[in-house]
Amino acid sequence: MNNLMPTELAPQINAHFNGKFEVELKYRLTDRDTFWARLHAKSPEVMLEDNLEHDCYFDSPSASLKSENKSLCIREMQPSGIMLWIVKGPEKDRCEAVNISDVAKAKSMLGTLGYQCVFEINKRRSVYFLGKFHLTLDSLEGLGDFAELAIMTDDEAMLPVYELQLLALAAELGLNESQREFLSYRQLQETLKA
């Protein structure tokens, strides 16, 4: 993804985050340490640990993206130095991301197009690989701890298959349906502020 990541991981990182569709299951953690112990027992590969992420969501003054069920986010990650442009929607599984090298320039370009930062989220995130899947362990102030299990693909026909595989992996990690979170972090933050 960038020169701050170990070069031996670069091909695997790119493989994990390529695709225009994402199957993602999010779970609210009731016991972060127990979840971590179960994940650690599976010997995951570490992409990064305890990065601080700052997400800035952009939209037009009329909220045209939100009304179309789309989101546009610029993400900065430290200390990894990863910077991403992320677009989701309008379909639930539609997600594309690209590395960028200049956040200030990207934000300026969006401003020129009439978009403004309408919402910001900060979180602490660790990312792990288990085979073809990637898992994130997130902590958000005011919201708590979460685990996301995901895979990206260009093959839309595989989405239901991957969802079943992720549900099985979640069960192996001790996660259950009562912990599922169907709202995005943005939706959860907006609910908290309402």
Whose tokens are 């640990």? That residue is: 49
Q: How many CB atoms neighbour CB 20 within 10 A?
A: 16
- The two beta strands, 144-153 and 71-78, are unpaired
Whole-prediction pTM: 0.83
Task: Quickly list DSSP for 33-63.
Answer: HHHHHHHHHT-PEEEEEEEEEEEEEEE-TT-
Q: How far apart are CA 35 and CA 11, in angstroms?
A: 28
Q: How far apart are CA 99 and CA 169, in angstroms?
A: 28
101-120: burial string, b at 16+ Cβ within 10 Å, e else? eebeebbeebeeeebeebbe
Q: Could you tell me which of 174, 168, 179, 180 has the C-alpha nearest to residue 41?
A: 174
Q: What structural domains and CATH numbers belong to the chain? A: 19-193 (2.40.320.10)
Active site residues: 57
pLDDT in tens, 21-30: 889 999 999 9
Question: How much is the pLDDT for 187?
Answer: 87
Q: How far apart are CA 120 and CA 130, in angstroms?
A: 29
Question: How much is the pLDDT for 194?
Answer: 66
Which stretches of the chain are DSSP H helices? 10-16, 32-41, 64-67, 103-112, 159-172, 185-193
25 near 163, Cβ under 8 Å? Answer: yes
Question: How much is the pLDDT for 190?
Answer: 84
Question: How much is the pLDDT for 3?
Answer: 33
Q: What percent of the chain has pLDDT over 70?
A: 91
Instruction: Give Cβ neighbours of residue 32 (< 8 Å, ≥ 6 apart).
Output: 137, 139, 145
Instruction: Give Cβ neighbours of residue 113 (< 8 Å, ≥ 6 apart).
Output: none
- Sign of the C-alpha dihedral, residues 67, 107, 1, 40? negative
Question: How much is the pLDDT for 2?
Answer: 33
Give the residue ranges of the chain where pLDDT is below 50.
1-13
